[in-house]
Structure 1
Amino acid sequence: MSKRQMLMLADVQSVENTCKTDPACPFVAFEKSKNTFGFTLAANGEVVIYTFSMGDDYPDNTVLTYSHCPDQPLLIHERIPTFFNTISPKYWKNPKCVNPLPRVGIQEPDETTDFWLNEDSPSSDMDVNIPANEDGDDTNDSDYDDDGEDDNDVDEDYYNTDGEDIPEYFSDEDEQVKMHPLLAHDIEQVKQLAGNQAISYRMFDALGDIDIDLQLDVSFLQDLIAKAWCLNREQPLVVRLHCSLSKYLDENSPQVSVFQSSKSNQPGVCSQMKKITESFLLGHWKSLTNKAVLAHLKSREKSPSKTCQRDGHRNHSNTSRGRTLTIPISFSRSSSSMSQSPSSESPSPVSPDSSSKKFGKKMFPWQPWQRSSSTGHSPPSPGKEELHLIPAATQDQKQAKQIPSLEHGFLWQMYGYLKNRIPNLSEFCVVCDEPHIFQNGAMLKPAVCERELCVFSFQMLGVMQDAAENIATGAEVVDLLVSMVLAAVKSRRRQLILDPFPSVVDPKSSKELAFSPKKKNFDRLESTLDKFSSMTDMLAAGSVTDMKKQMDRMDFMAYPLLQWIISSNRSHIVKLPTNKQIRFMHTPHQFLLLSSTPSKEIAFRKAKQEHGSIFAFHGSNIENWHSILRHGLINASGTKHQMHGAAYGKGIYLSPHSSVSFGYSGMGHGIHQPVKKLPPVQEPKKSACRFLQSKNLRCIALCEVISSKELNRHGHVWVCCNPDHVCTRFFFVYEDGKVGDQGVDTTQDKYTKDILSAMADWRTL
């Protein structure tokens, strides 16, 4: 039996024994099995059943369910007695199991402790004693030890209620916490450089383990981006490393978990960050030893210039939620933009000097300056079969994988690397963590790239499915996505515009792709799409299993293709409820449409503060939107994707006048001619149908555009040559040739007010 299992059994037994000693205890009906523990609360006329489901990593990732809301489980990361102590005072006296194990809890180092390593510091274990109180007695800083009782008495009450023997692993030999000096130093460095809130830890000295929580701030994300990623921007993203307390780098690579404490169902971004962290550890942990890193740090400490530099960092550290990081690492522009401006006294980013190169060459061959340019890692060259798939990396993307120096310890290096990855997560495949092969760079939603190995891994092995799943795709949005790909495959230009072409594994032969970009079978794809069930029938199926069976009867490739259509969408689309729709657009099919990555939105907001912004329409045929949602709006002038003339130069064509964009939206090809007359505006019928009923569709997007010199205005036609200065905001669909109000001019205040009002409702969607 492992130590964690023994700890779990001891915790369960102690809670049960404590309750059974008092006949008046409202907690009754204890039930336990190998991995579950439950009890019933009968008090104040209510009966609630609590059930704990525990795993091998107890006390982490314990799932708690309540009988009154079984569909809303709670994920907790604390021991059962600790949780029990939070709920029991409301219904019962304070139980004696307030401190299950004084030596196990969140331990903070004494602020007066000198964590820097002197010449006599051993490279093995270091004893970090519990701080003494004012009376000189050794106490634990846990909030639980308030009654002043002797620690041994508390342990005896807790684990020996019925006279049973105290478990062997809680022996008196564990009264002192042993932490490796390098680990203590690394923790202190993160606190000094990023603030106390950037890192916390919990020591399990009886187990010889420690949980280190790196707290990554995500408050820089816009509300809608955070919602698209299913994150709570008010809480940090926690990267937990479970490693050896005394051996640190000399032990096996740490176990990793990534979560937000407020989320019972962890978002896909957590899975992606976990994979990134594990890959980082896999490549770097084995290359390091405590002895080598200690020697490296000591050598830098002997240098007066390095000492002054380090002291300067400590003097300028910021504790305001870690937003301003005066740190010697080269964060990307997007990462640094999310913080307040650093102090003018802040040191410049550290470049690898001769001494770091000297040590890096011998001990740290994986350091970025040994293999890549100063701008960051260059992704591995694609194989010969993928030479046409060249990623269009942004500058932020190039810097995203840059690894900070080891100058301030391994934890600080990892903290900086992970923090730098967040703004650009969606620019990388969730399976291989290589830049997406889409030619126009990054989009908002995490997704799997088109590399065949990643497609097989994702569809057949389920690798990273929780990271790329479209969690909250509404039925109306699925209906829209299917309509777009169907229009593309039926177009005369399908060879060009059906991009990306589906990559779907054959369910009857898992070693082959039924649909492949390298062997495009448009007729087979069109045949499968034509056999799709209607959205009404899909919803009527009742369950995913029944829906799959229903679609399999029509075509065995239908359901896998539907999965690809949903998961390949990289834009955030939400159907606007009726009371939040833009009135002058006169269609019930209105959607919020966001496609920019956090880094692009940050750059957009910065440009907006400098130049201001304005709204304009972009019209394009329905057949083009399958590609636009996955590639973004691009400057197609002079390329094979250009549909219309470029009379006003190269760039993205926009217009403040709806009539102009409606004209573009109804044209499949050719040169645009000004629209002389459009059908009159018709109010949408008051229909209960949620879905599109026609295949004759027109679509236009409402975009926000930076009012800079890069926006060339030619009357009713505007051209923006900088794609980063155009962000989609809303999307409108019209059926059977109908259009909205042709007199809309977004430069007029009456229309701008309605648009801004709709944007203000984003947070409630």
Structure 2
Amino acid sequence: MTLRQQRFAEDVNSAIAVCEQYGWPFTDFHQTDNSLTFAYTKNNNKQLVSICISDDYPENTFITRHDNEDCSEYSNESIKNIIMGLNRELREGSIDRSDSMDTDNSCYEDCPETLDTDEDEEDDDGVDYMDEYDQMREGEEVEINPVLLRDMEKLWGCYGEHVMDYRAFESIEEVDTEIKINLASLLEREIAEAWNLDRLQPLVIRLNLSLSQYLDAPRPPLIQVLHSSKSGIISQLQKVLADFISEQWGRLSNSFIQQLYDEAEQKTQTASCTPQPHCDESSQTAHDRNIARLMEMGFTADQALSALVINNGDLLLSVNHLMGGQSTSDGQTTAQASDSSLPPKPSGSGYRRQTSHPSGAKRIKKISRLHSVDPKDIPKDPGIIDLTKDGDDFTLVPTSLWFGKKSKRIPSPNLGFLIQVYQYARQRIPTLNEFCVVCDDAHVFQNGAMLKPSVCSRELCVFAFQTLGVMADAAESVATGAEVVDLLIAMTRSACVSPRRDTIFSPYPTVVDPTKSTELALNPKSKDYDKVRKILEIIPPVSQLVQIEPSKIKRQMEEKNVLAYPLLQWIISSNRSHIVKLPKERRLSFMNTSHQYLLLQNPPAKEKVFQDLKKKHGSEFAFHGSSIENWHSIIREGLLVGSGTKLQVNGAAYGNGIYLSPNSSTSFNYSRMYKSGKQKNESASRFLDHGRSMTCIALCEVISHPSLKKSGAIWVSPESDHVCTRFFFVYEAGQCGEDVNTQHKNNLQAIQDAVNFRA
């Protein structure tokens, strides 16, 4: 049973238990792995309801009422919520729950403002049940656990009322909370597009909590992560948060959180040199907000509280106090305290485990104005980071927490469980690409993390990834990005048939045998290049695949070879770069090819480092030439410094590093493109011809750092983090690019305009 089916079964059992407990009129439940049928009686007639779940349950759940099949509908609610909604309809408005804190931004679609009930509808006795309900409930408040209520107030006070809605179900002693994460403050536009996320829509974390027991409930709450985009990132984050909540649940209790609140209030009152009256509500909220901001920077709640007390509540002075290494409440300096939480450095060289903090020298800087300081009063100091634009959002994008603390750092529960979940989610989102989508362990890459999330190389994770329906659907990818799929196949095929395949065909495909799901049909531990080549030959050209209905692609490919479709899925899902075919109006005309692509590889952390370096040193554009057979590895593992390694093909006369050139003709030589007497005109074909003489070249942005060595037309960057791919150009047999100089004013302007393009 998959995790999705297990959750479905648990939801069904919970719904049946609720029906039995409260005598709801639903009977004859029959459940399979993917469906549920039951009956209810209306107007003395038994009606049947069928519910079919999708691979992304609870999203896209299909509901059919057999008395009126034209009213079939989709729902994103859990089974229990669906049945509760049906029960409400049957009772014609007599609802055993109250709707609280509903706003226009709420994800709930059945709030009182949007109910399609007929307020004039009466029963046989002439009684309007909605009026009776309103009279009965008038003036009555929802009874919520006091610790839960205080947690809610803390979250609203620290981050604003827009970050959470809730809805109470008194009849079943439950409350659903919706915590909303603003993605625009966490992800750059390119990153969100690469992850298939609409950053302008909030990400919603829905927790199903006990209304009266709250943290003393025996089981962790059910969690749903909801977003308007259909992205694998959502499923990954839901698993991450479910594991986090499950782990924390055994450590927390209502009495423990209440004790933390009491201790914090006592410290606030007694730590000051002069006695102060009890803080009013507004000052306490501001105090909590300042603590929350400091905690998001990586400081403990005790450190934040002590710094605020010492500096009379001034957030700016408290930040500079902590960043300056002043003594904390436990006697350690902040630098010492943070060092103790860092993992030990790995021995040896070569591969390293990527963390959320970018590599490089770390300098402690002071922070400039927040809301408590007038910006006019701040002296301009190069050692000060200006956060005036992001004063409301204290998350440092990406999750480069101060002193190198990792994004998996557990936030303190001092401000409550809800804030703990909110802060942990914000920490994890920008660095989800750095961790396996299944086991959540950090990826190990020679050049650090890549842009797109992926599964690690562990066989158990590969099995789970490919058998649980998490992997990208090849048919959908063909339908939405056929030209990119065509390019990915060309790269894999070129690497597979290359004489250097032992070196460059990395990663080798890992594919589960569809006829025996406990075995690998393609295994990196026992590489069979001829087997992969034969399967690739069976995969139809993408120009043919786009003519086939998406629902039939898999079946037609399996008829030829059962491994053809799984291999195609692996080729698509293992790509960790963001590639988009440029439309005609966005192409660089001087590159003399119609096959032009946007190619982005940097994850949030590395892109942030790159942009910071760019502000300091500036940047330039240059070409990088490499045979297309090498790009199978480059788009999955990054652009590496190959000098002095087995990856080196050409000499390194100008030193070790990534070789670049402002002249395309120089880089074309590295791509094995040579001018012939007869040249082919620019191809008007939508797809590549997959010829053996196909060549390519990349246009990169490189930091103008003093370490960048320029020797005429040959540039060498010793630091791979200083080079970012931006565009990719492919030339078919007989085609040859023009000699283009990126330093030319007109060319440079065209390149800069193209860089601003967003797919």
Q: Secondary structure at 1:646's aligned position in 2?
A: coil
Deviation at 1:457, TM superposition (A): 1.0
For residue 508 of structure 1, give the secondary structure of its aligned residue in structure 2.
coil
Unpaired runs of 5+ residues, structure 2, are 1-15, 27-46, 52-62, 104-110, 273-278, 300-313, 359-398, 400-404
Q: Is the 8 A contact 1:107 1:203 kept in 2?
A: no
Query: Does 2:208 align with 1:233?
Result: no
Q: How does 1:149-228 map to 2 (within 5 A)?
A: 175-220=140-185, 221-228=187-194
- Are 2:657 and 1:616 aligned? no
Q: Once the two structures are superposed, what CA deviation does each residue of 1:153-201 show, in whole Å capped at 9, x if it has no partner? A: x999778576589699999699431111211222222222222222222
State the match for 1:106 in structure 2: 100
1:537-574: CA deviation from partner (whole Å, max 9, x where unpaired): 333333343x3343334333222111111110111111
Are the counterparts in 1 of residues 579 and 597 from structure 2 also a CA contact under 8 Å? yes
Q: Indicate if the aligned counterparts of 2:472 and 2:572 stay in contact, CA closer than 8 A.
A: no
2: CA distance between counterparts of 1:388 and 1:604?
A: 22
Q: Which amino acid aligns with 2:635?
A: L
Which of residues 286, 294, 297 is equivalent to 1:315?
286
1:760 aligns with 2:722: no
Find the aligned partners of 1:637 and 1:711 in 2 and give their Cα distance: 15
Equivalent residue number for residue 248 of structure 1: 214
SS in 2 for 1:645: coil
* SS in structure 2 at match of 1:719: strand
Counterparts of 1:59 and 1:158, CA distance in 2: 26
Q: Do the aligned residues in 1 keep the contact of 2:451 with 2:576 (CA within 8 Å)? A: yes
Verify: 1:684 aligned to 2:681, yes or no: yes
Structure 1 466/449 Cα, relative in aligned 2: closer, same or farther at 3 Å? Answer: farther
Aligned positions, number: 630
1:294 equivalent in alignment to 2:258? yes
Alignment of 1:418-457 (within 5 A): 418-457=425-464
Take 1:297 and 1:523, find their aligned partners in 2: how far apart are those partners? 65
Cα distance in 1 for partners of 2:287, 2:479 equals 43
For residues 124 and 618 of structure 2, what CA distance do their matches in structure 1 show?
70
The alignment partner of 1:474 has SS state of: helix
Map Cα deviations across residues 26-70 of structure 1 (whole Å, 9 max, x no partner): xxxxx98466478999xxxxxx976444577379689xxxxxxxx
Aligned residue type for 1:107: M
Q: State the alpha-carbon separation in 1 of the partners of residues 751 and 191 from structure 2.
A: 19
CA gap 1:390/1:521 in 2 versus in 1, 3 angstroms = farther
Q: CA deviation at 1:432?
A: 0.8
Alignment-derived partner of residue 271 in structure 1: 235
Q: 2:316 aligns with which of 313, 325, 344?
A: 344
Change (3 A) 1:306 1:650: farther
CA contact (8 A) 2:484 2:581 kept: yes
Using the TM superposition, give the Cα deviation of residue 682 of structure 1 relative to its aligned residue in structure 2, in angstroms: 5.1
Distance 1:452 1:477, change over 3 A: same
Aligned equivalent of 1:133: none
Matched, 1:285 2:249: yes
In 2 relative to 1, CA 438–517 (structure 1 residues): closer, same or farther, beyond 3 Å?
A: farther
Assess if the C-alpha contact under 8 Å between 2:166 and 2:176 holds in 1. yes
What SS class does the counterpart of residue 246 from structure 2 fall into? helix
Aligned equivalents of 1:492 and 1:751: distance in 2? Answer: 37
* C-alpha distance in 2 between matches for 1:557 and 1:158: 59
Instruction: Report the alpha carbon displacement of residue 730 of structure 1 after superposing the two structures with TM.
Output: 0.8
Residue 596 (structure 2) aligned to one of 590, 593, 603: 590
Picking from 717, 722, 730, the partner of 1:720 is 717
Q: Structure 1 pair 213/472, CA: closer, same or farther in 2 (3 Å)? A: farther
From the superposition, tell whether residues 243 and 714 of structure 1 become closer, same or farther in structure 2 (CA, over 3 Å). same
1:57 aligns with 2:21: no
Could you say which residue in structure 2 is the equivalent of 1:258? 225
The 1:287–1:353 alpha-carbon spacing in structure 2 relative to 1, beyond 3 Å, is farther
Residue 557 of structure 2 aligns with which residue? 551
Hey, what does 2:55 align to over in structure 1? none
| 2:365 corresponding residue in structure 1 | none
Written as runs of structure 1 = structure 2, the 5 A alignment for 1:577-726 is 577-666=583-672, 678-679=675-676, 684-685=681-682, 687-726=684-723
Per the normalisation by structure 2, the TM-score is 0.72
Contact 1:193 1:327 (C-alpha < 8 Å) held by counterparts: no
For residues 422-450 of structure 1, the C-alpha deviation after alignment (integer angstroms, 9 at most, x for no partner) is 11111111111111233222111121111
Report SS of the residue matched to 2:166.
strand
d(CA) in 1 for partners of 2:350, 2:611: 34
| Aligned-pair CA distance for 1:354 | 9.6
- The Cα shift of 1:471 comes to 8.7
Q: CA RMSD in A?
A: 4.7
d(CA) in 2 for partners of 1:518, 1:283: 35
Q: What is the CA deviation profile of residues 306-340 of structure 1, one whole-angstrom value per residue up to 9, with x for unaligned ones? A: 97799988437779xxxx972323359xxxxxxxx
Cα distance change of structure 1 residues 735 and 572 upon mapping to structure 2, 3 Å threshold: same
CA distance 1:39–1:461, shift in 2 (3 Å)? closer
Give the secondary structure class of the aligned counterpart of 1:185: helix
Question: C-alpha deviations, 1:94-132, integer Å up to 9, x for none?
Answer: xx99x87596213389xxxxxxxxxxxxxxxxxxxxxxx
Match of 1:409 among 416, 441, 446: 416
CA distance in 1, matches of 2:513, 2:223: 34
Cα pair 1:682 1:740 within 8 Å, conserved: no
CA gap 1:427/1:468 in 2 versus in 1, 3 angstroms: farther
Say whether the 8 Å CA contact 2:478–2:542 is kept in structure 1.
no
CA distance in 2, matches of 1:317, 1:695: 64
State the Cα deviation string for residues 331-385 of structure 1 (Å, max 9, x = none).
Answer: 59xxxxxxxxx9634546799999999xxxxxxxxxxx99x96556789x99xxx
Match of 1:612, as an amino acid?
Answer: G
Residue in 2 aligned with 1:362?
Answer: none
CA change 1:243–1:502 in 2 (3 A) is same
SS in 1 for 2:206: strand
- Using the alignment, how far apart are the partners of 1:325 and 1:563 within structure 2? 43
AA matched with 2:173: G
Mean Cα displacement is larger for which, 200-209 or 628-637? Answer: 200-209
Given that residues 504 and 513 in structure 1 are in contact (C-alpha distance below 8 angstroms), is that contact kept between their aligned partners in structure 2? yes
Cα distance in structure 2, aligned partners of 1:748 and 1:81? 71
Residue matched to 1:391: 353
**CA shift for structure 1 position 511:** 2.0
Distance in 2 of aligned mates of 1:270 and 1:307: 43
Q: Distance in 2 between matches of 1:281 and 1:736?
A: 56
Residue 316 of structure 2 aligns with an amino acid whose one-letter code is S
Greater mean alpha carbon deviation, residues 494-503 or residues 189-198 = 189-198
C-alpha spacing 1:750/1:389, structure 2 compared with 1 (3 Å): closer
Q: Name the CA distance, whole Å, in 1 between partners of 2:614 and 2:681.
A: 35
Greater Cα shift, 196-205 or 581-590: 196-205
Moved more, 248-257 or 704-713: 704-713
In 1, Cα distance between equivalents of 2:577 and 2:251: 39
Deviations 1:220-257 (A, max 9, x none): 42323222222111122111111111111111211111
Alignment of 1:512 with 2:519, yes or no, is: yes
Give, in angstroms, the shift of residue 619 of structure 1.
0.9
In 2, the alpha carbon distance for the partners of 1:230 and 1:307 equals: 49
Matches within 5 A, 1:487-502: 487-502=494-509
Query: Would the aligned equivalents of 2:618 and 2:704 in 1 still touch at CA under 8 Å?
Result: yes
Q: How high is the sequence identity, in percent, across the aligned residues? A: 40
Secondary structure of the 1:701 match is strand
Q: Can you list the C-alpha shifts for 1:577-617, whole angstroms capped at 9, x where unaligned?
A: 22221100011111111111122222322322232222111
